Every structure is written in structure tokens, then in C-alpha cells.
Amino acid sequence: MKQFMESNINFHFDETYWNICNYDAIDGDYRKNVHLPETKAVDFVGIYQQNSIVFFEVKSFRGYGNQTNVQSRLNNSMEELSTEIARKVRDTVAVIAGLNRTVKHNPFWRETEAILSDSNDIGKPIMVIAWVEEDHSKQNKTEMVTRLNKLKQRLSWLTSAVYIENVKEQYFKFEGFEANL
């Protein structure tokens, strides 16, 4: 079982189902070869059941919901936050492709790139999970659908399998995965 803490949320990945990487902890040789100062990445990249890529971006606004800057990031259907998450996914995909061409062999990143390249196969989906924790866990249904559609629009170049999750309301269930506060 691999465990990571991100934004005070515990994530547990059963290695029977997952090959997971905390992007911030990747090999130093890879990180020093990324020469793009404005490049950002998602928090976790996972290979699920050996045939799907899952990008996880975690945002926790618990305890900060009354701050003006947090409210602006979550208002307007998460317009600003959707753009930020989509850019992180875009940058992560670019870095995976670039590193596999310029840096020593790394089995995880090679497998990730192979699945990304093969993703037109129906059995090899690409998924994006935006893990967004807020002070109030229940959003009204219309607002949640609007937020999700905004994020899907931003990521339509890559996938339509986009989900917004949180600890209390996990809509998409993965085997071998748990998250808790």
C-alpha cells in the first residue's frame, strides 16, 4: 500500500491495482531536466489496473473558505481553478513525453507514455481527478454540474473522463483507493 499526504488529505493506493507516483518526489535526474520555469504538474500520476492513466490534482480550501482569494477561485463555476488544473495536466503530459525522449530509462514514465500514446484504444482511458475539498461539502447540484462541465471543457483536448471529487462525496470509485482527512 502506497500512502501520500497532500494538503492534509491522506491518499492510499493498493499496489495490486495501482502503480502511482507522487510527481513532486520524482527522480532528481528527471526534475533537473525540466527547464521550463512556468511549468507546473499535477500532484499524482497513476497507472490504474495496468491500462489507464489517472492524473490527480488536489486542492484543499478547508479553513480558508471565507478568504476573498479562495472565494474568487471557486466562484464563476471554478473558472480560474479549472484553467489552473487543465494547465497542470497539460504540462504534466508534455513533461512525460519530453523526459522519455531525453533522460535515462524509467519504467514508470515509459509505461505512462505508452498508455498515453495508446489511449485511443477503448480499454486504455485517460482520467483526470480534481480533488477539491471545501468547508462545506455539499454544493448544490447545478453548481457542481457547472463546475464539472467547465473543467471538462478545459480538458476536452485530452479526455472526457474528468471528475471532481472530495472525501465526503466520492462519485467515481476505484478499487484499491481510499482518501480521508
pLDDT of residue 53: 94
pTM, two decimal places? 0.88
- Weakly modelled stretches of the chain, pLDDT under 70: 25-36, 64-77, 103-104, 119-124, 136-140
pLDDT of residue 130: 94
pLDDT of residue 120: 63
pLDDT of residue 86: 95
Q: Which residues contact 76 (CB under 8 A, 6 or more apart)?
A: none
Amino acid at 126: I
Region class of 167: left (phi > 0), else alpha (psi between -120 and 50), else beta: alpha
pLDDT of residue 153: 94
pLDDT of residue 133: 86
pLDDT of residue 113: 87
Q: How far is CA 105 from CA 100, 126, 146, 156, in A?
A: 7, 22, 41, 30
Using only C-alpha atoms, the chain has a radius of gyration, in whole angstroms, of 16
Distance of CA 170 to the CA centre of its chain: 15
The β-bridge partners of 59 are 132
